[in-house]
Chains A and B, each alone.
Chain A
Amino acid sequence: EDQVTQSPEALRLQEGESSSLNCSYTVSGLRGLFWYRQDPGKGPEFLFTLYSAGEEKEKERLKATLTKKESFLHITAPKPEDSATYLCAVQAHSGTYKYIFGTGTRLKVLA
């Protein structure tokens, strides 16, 4: 069964304290892995798409990496405005457009 697990469930960081969020997945043929940021009461905002092991993408203080079993979202020198829930999703080569989402990591960055 296709599955996505995110860890930790919640993370508190001091401003400037770098860390990583994990997304482990099992899927029958990965088509793509997606990272989103979601603020309370709002829809998820797209961050990155990764397609193959070894791929990396960066945006400001965020860097996403992908292996055959997991993806990491690295946050370098975070600021309070980085506080949000980060969602990971995978899409399989199943012939449909369906995504499978993890439950997210709630990040709180303290000033």
Chain B
Amino acid sequence: DGGITQSPKYLFRKEGQNVTLSCEQNLNHDAMYWYRQDPGQGLRLIYYSQIVNDFQKGDIAEGYSVSREKKESFPLTVTSAQKNPTAFYLCASSMGSETQYFGPGTRLLVL
């Protein structure tokens, strides 16, 4: 089955710790995205990548980093510089500028 997988489903971060969220897709999509969702707010774009080895900052990139070494994978690192990381993180992919499809999400909580 083609789709997008995100892991883990829940992630706990301690103060000063960097954590990495995984996103993998087998849809052969060239573009991938990371969004953050907070209660009562729309999805906010963190980073996106239109091709391998290239990515652009979204609207709220501070405190986050990404890499795109393979077409299938777009991991997101939440660094210690992100002071309010508690949120639901969503990964998406698309074929070019066509419809985006989303993964199941990762909920990040701070201990």
Q: In the complex, what distance in Å separates the CA atom of A56 from the CA atom of B88?
A: 32
**Which of A14-22, A38-46, A68-76 forms contacts with chain B?**
A38-46
Interchain CB contact under 8 A, A97 and B97: yes
Give the nearest-CB partner of B105 in chain A. A43
Number of interface residues of B (CB under 8 A): 27
B66 adjacent to chain A (CB < 8 Å):
no
**Which of B12-20, B40-48, B71-79 forms contacts with chain A?**
B40-48
Q: How large is the interface on A (under 10, 10 to 19, 20 to 34, 35 or more residues)?
A: 20 to 34
B85 adjacent to chain A (CB < 8 Å):
no
| A-B Cβ contacts below 8 A, count | 56
The A interface, classified by DSSP as helix, strand, loop or mixed, is strand
Write out the residue numbers on chain B whose beta carbons fall within 8 Å of the beta carbon of A42.
104-105
A26 adjacent to chain B (CB < 8 Å):
no
A91 adjacent to chain B (CB < 8 Å):
yes
Q: In the complex, what distance in Å separates the CA atom of A34 from the CA atom of B104?
A: 18
List residues 29-46 of chain B with CB under 8 A from any CB of chain A: 31, 33, 40-45
Instruction: State the Cβ distance, B74 to closest chain A Cβ, in Å.
Output: 13
B58 adjacent to chain A (CB < 8 Å):
yes
Give the nearest-CB partner of A104 in chain B. B42
A49 adjacent to chain B (CB < 8 Å):
yes
Interchain CB contact under 8 A, B31 and A4: no
Write out the residue numbers on chain B whose beta carbons fall within 8 Å of the beta carbon of A43.
4, 6, 90, 102-105
Give the nearest-CB partner of A45 in chain B. B102
